[in-house]
Amino acid sequence: MNNRLKNPGVWMPLALALALVGGMWIGKTFFNNYHGWDSRSKLDTILELINKNYVDEIDTDSILEVSFPEIISHLDPHSVYIPASDLQSVNEELEGSFSGIGISFNMLGDTINVLEVISGGPSEKVGILPGDRIITINDSLVAGQKWTNSKVMSNLRGPKGSTVRLGIKRPTAKELLPYDVKRDDIPVTSIDASYFIDDEVGYIKINKFGATTYSEFLTSMVTLMADGAKRFIIDLRGNGGGFMDHAVLMANEFLPSGSPIVAIKGKNRSRDNATMSDGSGSFKDKELVVLLDEISASASEIFAGAMQDNDRGLIIGRRSFGKGLVQNQLELPDSSALRLTIARYYTPSGRCIQKTYAPGVDYERELLNRFEHGELYSADSIKQDKSLEFTTLHGRTVYGGGGITPDIFVPNDSTGITSYYINVINAGLIPKYTFEYTDANRANLSKSKDGHELLTMLPDDDTLLQNFVNYAQKNGVAPRWYYINLSRDLLVNSLKAMIARNIHGVQGYYEVMNDSDPTVLAALEALNSGKSAFPITDSNAKKDNE
């Protein structure tokens, strides 16, 4: 043996080092495998201890089921666990259809009031009419039972081809009318309104980005263009997002070839990608204004961000929500699902507009903070992070880190909101009065072709307001004319719009309300004065905000 190896001073330190490393490896392996130091093993051990030793019989699966949402909540605000019982209804909102009877309704006085009957749908085929009240469902009394909207929907929806029996109260019939309605596929539409807001400007209101949004959008645009529309308002206020690819397809229609639309970056680099326009868009020469508010999020922000960063369209309204996270829905073997954030998206200038969700930050309160800090009423109250400054295609400054700031700010309109207005709103009197008025005049009002023509059939403003005030007084809200006069325009416009909705659906409502909507009026002014022409310039934006 080599004499050096016989010397303890040479080999002893090496032996001790090997023993120490070996001991560490054995200890780690021992404790992980046998003593449950691994978190997943620890969870199994705890559940097993509960199952064997807890004083009462417990379904450990049910414990886990209620725990999953809490576990996922520690990731980010938009990753969620969806129980199997909720998955179908969650998916239906975006997938484009569900099986039901084909009506829209509201609850007034604990009664289901039919607002619209979908053309060609199951209810129309059997003769159900707008204005009908649903008193019973499958011989169970509904009226007066304080059913929730979700309970009503769960009873009206069901498997395609199944039948639901309704008891209908109609003003023209003394007895309850029985209807057997066979459920069928009902489209879930994304576009609430599509019409000419003036001679050359088309208006499109998109409520979400679902499975049919792009095709609906194309149909609306082509129809309006065929009738002479040259400029467009796309209203994304209140649109919380949905399928990102439909926002990308919409953006592609407005951009020249090679324009960046959105980039996605996540942990799994194989999924990273940057989407560019392919030049096939049909509306590359059309002037565009996009309307946003504090509820506009996700896919809405992708579309608006692509238009703003490419200086392609003018953004008007208020700062958007600030959701720059991408979710992927993963269905589990028990038909539940995990909607997991897998990436962040970045607008063409490179900004991520996701607002802060760090530990200790009350994410749910952020919108309330905006209200309390005055942001909804003053552009000067918007606090930009100067460290997240980016530049648009033609040199305008934009910011990341919390939504898309509009090029033209329009404050939340609080004109006319008085204590009297709040009292009648809280009592639900505007929808109740307008529903009764519509019922009494439905035969005549139904002859109108749209919301604007319907307005010519209504009483003058003074009469309409006086009749409503009398109705409100009978229902417990005393007239206070000082406040009524302050709220006059808001009350009258709301009454007219709700009557139009009862006859012409949601589009009728927007046709009337948009005539006095400050954000829509600002968009019209920008379009008709040429301020939205491509490319949007910094000088125009600054001039507009002075």
| 535: preceding bond cis by omega (within 30 degrees) | yes
- Tell whether the model's pLDDT for residue 90 goes beyond 60: yes
Domain count, the chain: 3
Among 155-169, 176-190, 458-472, the range of highest mean pLDDT: 458-472
pLDDT band at 358 (very low <50, low <70, confident <90, very high): confident
Which domain CATH number covers 345?
3.90.226.10
Residue 189's closest CA among 170, 203, 208, 176?
208
Sequence-separated (6 or more) residues with CB below 8 Å from residue 471: 429, 433, 436
Residue 486 inside a domain? The answer is yes
> What is the domain extent for residue 454?
419-516
Give yes or no for residue 36 having a pLDDT over 70. Answer: no
State the CATH number of the domain containing residue 131: 2.30.42.10
- With 80 as the cut, is the pLDDT of residue 286 above it? yes
List the structure tokens of 231.
């400029």
pLDDT of residue 399: 93
499 and 376 in a common domain: no
> Which residue, of 362, 393, 413, is where some domain finishes?
413
Which of 154, 187, 220 is where one domain is finished?
187
Question: What was the pLDDT predicted at 28?
Answer: 47
Q: Which comes out higher in pLDDT, residue 316 or 36?
A: 316
Predicted local distance difference test score (pLDDT) of residue 457? 97
pLDDT-based confidence at residue 22 (cuts at 50, 70, 90): very low
What gap in Å lies between CA 324 and CA 77, rounded to an integer?
A: 11
Higher pLDDT, 37 or 194: 194
Full DSSP string of 423-454: HHHHTTHHHHHHHHHHHHHHHHHTT-SSHHHH
Question: 15-29, 291-305, 308-322 — which is least confidently predicted?
Answer: 15-29
- Rounded to whole angstroms, the Cα distance separating 251 from 510 reads 24
User: What's the pLDDT score for residue 94?
Assistant: 64
Backbone angles phi, psi at 15, to 5 degrees: -65, -45
Residue 60 domain-assigned (yes or no)? no
Mean pLDDT of 19-40: 50
Residue 247: the pLDDT is 97
- Please check whether residue 10 lies inside any domain of the structure: no
Q: At what angle are helices 419-426 and 429-445 packed, to 10 degrees?
A: 70
Among 413, 441, 463, which residue terminates a domain? 413
Q: What is the DSSP string of 45-109?
A: HHHHHHHHH-SS---HHHHHHHHHHHHHHTT-TT-EEE-HHHHHHHHHHHHSEEEE--EEEEEET
List of residues 6+ apart from 451 with CB closer than 8 A: 497, 500, 504, 507, 508, 509, 510, 511, 512
Shortest CA distance to 115 belongs to which of 458, 498, 450? 498
Q: Look at residue 269 in the predicted model and tell me its pLDDT.
A: 84
Q: Does 187 score more than 50 pLDDT?
A: yes
Mean pLDDT of 69-94: 80
Q: How far is CA 75 from the centre of its chain?
A: 22
**Interatomic CA distance for residues 370 and 266, integer angstroms:** 29
Pairing status of strand 140-141 against strand 314-317 = unpaired
User: How many C-beta neighbours within 10 Å does residue 90 have?
Assistant: 15
Residues 430 and 480 in one domain: yes
CA angle 116, 122, 125 (to 5 degrees): 90
Both 401 and 469 in one domain: the answer is no
More confident position, 404 or 542 = 404
CA distances to 82, 102, 108, 168, 192 from 114, rounded to whole Å, are: 30, 10, 10, 10, 18
Q: What is the overall mean pLDDT for the chain?
A: 87
438 and 348 in a common domain: no
Which tokens sit at 505?
């659906």
Measuring CA to CA, which residue among 159, 186, 165 is closest to residue 104? 186
